[in-house]
Structure 1
Amino acid sequence: MGERPDIDLTRPSAARVYDYYLGGAHNFAVDREMAEQAISMWPELPLIMQANRAFLRRAVQFCVREGVTQFLDLGSGIPTVGNVHEVAREAAPDSRVVYVDNDPIAVTYSRTILGDDPRTTVVQHDLREPDEVLAAREVTGLLDFDRPVAVMLVAVLHFVQDDPAKIIAAYHDAVPPGSYLVISHATHDGQDTQADEHTDLYRRRTATPMTMRSKPEVEALFEGYELVEPGVVHLPLWRPASSEDVDEHPERFAGLAAVGRKL
């Protein structure tokens, strides 16, 4: 897998575990072992991750249709097949994307995958420090904050134990009206003990313990944004491509999704 940053590889990384769930190759034995342990406890996990990925695709397509071609993907993990820049460029080849992650291995592999693409870059920063993220030369050099930007927080805020509303507010203030906020978030709503066991596993095994949130808590994160229909819903219910994509029990996907527009 090439050169690796000087980092402890004895502990799983949430970004690399997610990569494994999606069938990616940018993960290590310790990540695969934890992922398999999680799947043994909750067999539907790969389906949940795929549903989250499908939401990301639909949300990016929506933003492009609304005329937004700039994306700030916070907590992006590893941009494997079907990530933001690929989806956006299917409709708008001039789309610009900045990926932000604090995992040095995820960043290293991201740079390898992205190569010398002049309209896409990756920054190693912590999304919980918006002032540093927004001041990074890679961000200011690629994104024009006089034009709308889609701020992506997909499957990452449940790893933020700080007050996520204050963090989101800082990014809200940095983008102009017409910008979008895209969020997907793990939830206990409609779940049994599997969700609790999954949360406990991340608390014990990784440096990024999970905090699942309810629908009202996720709705509160859109302060200053107008929610796009259908609002905050379970992953498969956010603007499905067809009725065939809607599961009879969408709550089993254990994730909420929504998009908001800054007025």
Structure 2
Amino acid sequence: MPETGPDIQDIDTSRPHPARVYDWFLGGKDNYPVDEELGRRIAAIDAGSAPRTARANRAFMRRATRTLATRHGIRQFLDIGTGIPTEPNLHQIAQSAAPDARVVYVDNDPIVLAHAGALLVGTPEGVTEYVQADARDPRTILERAARVLDLGRPVALSLVALLHFVADEDGARDLVRTLVDALAPGSALVLSTMTADFEPENVGKGIAAYAAGGVTLVARSHAEVGTFFAGLGLLEPGIVPVTDWRPDEPPAGGGPVSLYGGVALKP
């Protein structure tokens, strides 16, 4: 399913890109000096906070995926806003628990498409595919995902560290509702997004740093994050900092992580 690979000129190296900055936070190599520059500015606001948050977010994704595969029997996964591959990837977690799991990744960054091959090496029993599409175009995503996933059966929809790049006025809630409405009962929503509830000053500085790089970033309160889960049944412990969602190891310390996370089932 991956569309034709991008030419190098399709990758804009003159402006930072969220996926590449995130890759830098995680210690990856698929970023450019402009991404590292923004990453360093953000990291300097609160030493170690941004890389720690990025790692905590990945760990939340892994725990949520494993929980849905092992405890709720979900065998289909739709991951929107995939980002640059960082092992273990979602399909590796899902297919280690359920070898026959089917996974569709979605992103619109040419550099992610360039690395899509790394996302497509799964188990012989399962399926992994990549769709090049914009998260703000959910109907196109659903149409293409339906070539691989049976939307009449439960699907785990992952919107991990995505929605803080989509402002309310740009239709963040409509985007989520369109996607969730298209899924079968028993499907799940996995969501993490930034908040300023814990460190408003530092988060505000981070938002300003991203804005200076031409990137929109939105922080939402606990109540605002809750609206994304309207009509769904939240799994325990509800909407919490990502480090507190069913942790499988002691917290690493170093201060709060400014990301809320939650997992819910569609009745």
TM-score with structure 2 setting the length? 0.90
* 1:173 is aligned to 2:178: no
Tell me the number of residue pairs that the alignment of Structure 1 and Structure 2 aligns. 255
* 1:230 is aligned to 2:237: yes
Measured after TM superposition, the shift of residue 4 of structure 1 is: 2.5
State the match for 1:186 in structure 2.
Answer: 194
* 1:59 is aligned to 2:64: yes
Moved over 4 A (4+): 115-118, 246-249
| CA distance in structure 2 between the partners assigned to 1:15 and 1:8 by the alignment | 12
Picking from 68, 87, 90, the partner of 2:93 is 87
| CA distance in structure 2 between the partners assigned to 1:228 and 1:246 by the alignment | 24
State the match for 1:163 in structure 2.
Answer: 171
State the match for 1:11 in structure 2.
Answer: 15
Instruction: Please show how residues 1-263 of structure 1 align to structure 2 within 5 Å.
Output: 4-43=8-47, 44-65=49-70, 66-109=72-115, 111-115=116-120, 119-136=127-144, 139-161=145-167, 162-206=170-214, 208-242=215-249, 244-245=250-251, 247=253, 252-263=256-267
The 1:123–1:257 alpha-carbon spacing in structure 2 relative to 1, beyond 3 Å, is: same
Moved more, 175-184 or 96-105: 96-105
Counterpart of 1:94 in structure 2: which amino acid? D
TM-score with structure 1 setting the length? 0.91
Counterpart of 2:21 in structure 1: which amino acid? V
| CA distance in structure 1 between the partners assigned to 2:252 and 2:119 by the alignment | 33
Q: What SS class does the counterpart of residue 141 from structure 1 fall into?
A: coil
Counterpart of 1:75 in structure 2: which amino acid? G
Measured after TM superposition, the shift of residue 42 of structure 1 is: 2.4
Q: What SS class does the counterpart of residue 153 from structure 1 fall into?
A: strand
Gaps of 5+ in 2: 1-5
Measured after TM superposition, the shift of residue 204 of structure 1 is: 1.5
| CA distance in structure 1 between the partners assigned to 2:120 and 2:10 by the alignment | 21
The 1:258–1:27 alpha-carbon spacing in structure 2 relative to 1, beyond 3 Å, is: same
Measured after TM superposition, the shift of residue 6 of structure 1 is: 2.4
Q: Deviations over 1:13-69 (max 9, x none)?
A: 100111111122221222112111211122211111111111011000111011012
| CA distance in structure 1 between the partners assigned to 2:121 and 2:239 by the alignment | 37
RMSD: 1.8
Percentage of matched positions with identical amino acids: 40
Q: What SS class does the counterpart of residue 221 from structure 1 fall into?
A: helix
